[in-house]
Amino acid sequence: MSDDDSYRDSYRDISVHKMMLMDVVRTEAYERALRQMVKPGHKVLDFGCGTAVLSMFAARFGADTVYAVDRSAFITAARAIAMANHIENIRFYHDDHTSLVLPEPVDVLVSEWMGHFIFHEAMLEPLVFLRNRYLRPGGVMIPDQIRFIAGFVTDESFYEELCFFRQNPYGIDFSPVAEAPLYQTNLEFFTPSQISKTLVDLGSMDLYVVDATPEVLEGAARPKRKETVYGLAGWFSARLTPNICLETGPNDPPTHWNQMFFPFKEPLTLDPAREVTVRIRPPKPIGKGEDTWSWTVTDGSTLIQMDDEYPFDPIATVGLLGA
């Protein structure tokens, strides 16, 4: 890794790992999945091993060899943790997915690679790269499928907070930036009462065959009743095995992923007479195009189009001020 990369290596910090391991819903779901899928003699690749918690589960459930891979300098701590637990069949690789060289294909590829609303950490392409290179034919992916869901936010307070600058706080006209907060995604923890019963299925991704970040997540639903909504909440369900799913929605036990809030610039009234269509464009992987979210919702009569690159150009404004 370059100095620049290590500077940006947020996974050096124990607090990030503590936060993930304190997410019992997440960690125990992976533990159950590994207990079900790892068979004695298996070779397992743990991509992005962090503390090596998943590697140690795999070793505990009978794996012959576990290849634990992480580009973070924290891997030194992971190795020490495995030694403290007297586990000797984990081989550690301080590598990026591109530099990794394993001696053999694996039976199981496990990874907790999912960022906020999946695409925030851009680990999908590296995972696909390693799957293509190292998963033996008929091998197992954990997770093997991701489903995307959007709900409509009915609680006005989330919207009101984002409209703060519209009220000229302190008697100052903030209009040049007043709309900007509405164009940003935010992580929120929604309760079931803050989300409409009308949910939109945005489709799913099969991790055995997917080869790139999808261009767009799209789905439609017939509203169950007339109601005013202020934005979208996006979350995912990760299928770890055919009968173990890790759910991250407002109706599920909380996880560290929360939900992603995609606000609207103006409220929208859902009407059972009009089917509503949602489109969410994820950011492109690093260096491959727009790295911002964009989202639209339409019921055929109203179209709300949002892009988390707010159409306010500070450079142009400075230019104007200087003229």
Ligand X SMILES: C[S@@+](CC[C@H](N)C(=O)[O-])C[C@H]1O[C@@H](n2cnc3c(N)ncnc32)[C@H](O)[C@@H]1O
The site for ligand X (CB under 6 A) is made up of 11, 20, 48-51, 53-54, 69-72, 96-97, 112, 123, 126
Shortest reach from residue 222's CB to ligand X, in Å: 36
Instruction: Give the Cα separation of 153 and 192 in Å (integer).
Output: 10
Of the pair 14, 318, the CB lying nearest ligand X is at: 14
Q: Please, what is the angle between helix 53-60 and helix 24-37, to 10°?
A: 30
Shortest reach from residue 292's CB to ligand X, in Å: 20
Of the pair 93, 264, the CB lying nearest ligand X is at: 93
Verify whether residue 121 is a known catalytic residue.
yes
Verify whether residue 112 is a known catalytic residue.
yes
Contacts of 290 (CB under 8 A, 6+ apart): 281, 283, 284, 309
Contacts of 108 (CB under 8 A, 6+ apart): 34, 37, 38, 42, 43, 44, 45, 58, 63, 139, 140, 142
Note the Cα 273 to chain centre separation in Å: 33
- Closest C-alpha to 45, from 118, 97, 121, 120: 97
Set 121, 266, 290, 309: catalytic member: 121
Contact 294, 119 (CB under 8 A): no
- Residue 179, token pair as written in the block: 């709309």
Of the pair 210, 220, the CB lying nearest ligand X is at: 210
Of the pair 123, 153, the CB lying nearest ligand X is at: 123
Q: Residue with the closest Cβ to ligand X?
A: 48
Residues annotated catalytic, as ranges: 112, 121
